Amino acid sequence: VVLGVSVYGFGQKYLYWPAYSTMNREFSKGITLYLSEHARVLSTFGGHYDLAAYIMLTITIIIALAFVVKKWWLSVLMLLIALFEYWILILTASRTSFIAYLVSVTVVFLLLAFKKSILWSLKRYVGVMMVTMAIMLTMGPMSERFAQVIKLEELKNNMNKAFLPPPSNAIALRDDIPLEKQLEIVATSSDTPPQTQKPGEPTSNVQERPEDVYVDPYIQNATGSKVATGSATRPASYSENALQYGLSSGIRLDALWPRAIAGFKRNPLLGSGYATLVKTAVWEQTPAESTDNDYLRLLGETGLLGFISFLSIFGLSIAILYKAFRNTQDQLWATLFATGIAIIVGLLV
């Protein structure tokens, strides 16, 4: 099944196979989609986030079992399938599921160290992590998604400023003056840059946009129609969070998470009710009900009582699996119990 899912994901991205999603009401009607250049691989039971979560569950099991099965050819086959599936995880560009994958693999090898040995587990864990990070940092969109949040390029520049001395003939840059103003200090009349517009053309109103926005969207008028000129549309503006961390994170920080916290404050014990967090009125039909944070959604919709009740299911499951893991002497069953614990922890992440 994992191999079939991976082949279909590969086909969506590289062979122009049709994709189907249930991420909103329109797509759920069975509309055939085709991935654009920057679109992410979809599952057929949700969207790219759901596919990434599914991969986190199954790849942990496959990797762990690959190191305990006795037949070498079966071990090699499982590792190849895991590698193929991992590439689909990279194509989903789901940062949270990638972190969950790292955590779940860490947990499973930590538990197997008690059944095998610390050295046995450590060698295999280091090997898996080296391949994981090498692929993530050098290929695919995952590293770009992380860079939008943790600002890798900015970190590199700051490190260079701190540890690398400036050239002896360099002019010190001042942080309180914009770069173009600093250029004017040393510029001559012959340094005027060429214009990109024909003389007499009006200057275009270029809006700054987040790193994860690849087209210039427009806010449409009430009828939903979009026209090229006139007052019916205007360029979209973005919040400070969207410009700094990307539109995906900006939506969470500016709208979705504050609404969930507001729902929790309305009734800390029971919350504000299911599917109420993104509505302005109870009867409103919204395109989606997501909060993009299940912990905040639990608190906002069901309050502390719902939060504790729901998470107790996972706590009890871990306790039962850990007891079985300690009591069994069979390596295969011990590995399965360990992966059960690991993927629950991954789901919590």
In degrees, rounded to 5, the angle at the alpha carbon of residue 128 between the alpha carbons of residues 126 and 131 is 105
Task: Kindly report the pTM of this predicted structure.
Answer: 0.70
Give, in order, the Cα–Cα distances in Å from 73 to each of 77, 103, 132. Answer: 6, 27, 22
Residue 182 backbone phi and psi in degrees, to 5: -65, -35
**Which is nearest to 262 in space by CA: 301, 317, 223?**
301
- Predicted confidence at residue 288, as pLDDT, reads 65
Number of neighbours of residue 21 by Cβ within 10 angstroms: 19
- Residue 157's pLDDT is what? 59
Residues 6+ apart with CB under 8 A from 278: 256, 259, 286, 288, 289, 290, 291
Low-confidence ranges of the chain (pLDDT < 50): 189-205, 221-231
Please report the pLDDT score of residue 104 as a whole number: 97
pLDDT score, position 140 = 67
Taking the C-alpha atoms of residue 317 and residue 337, their distance in angstroms, rounded to an integer, is 11
| pLDDT at residue 198, as a whole number | 46
pLDDT in tens, 286-341: 766 778 889 999 999 999 999 999 999 999 999 999 999 999 999 999 999 999 99
Q: Give the pLDDT of residue 105.
A: 97
In the Cβ-directed half-sphere of 167, how many Cα atoms lie within 13 Å? 3
Strands 234-235 and 218-219: antiparallel
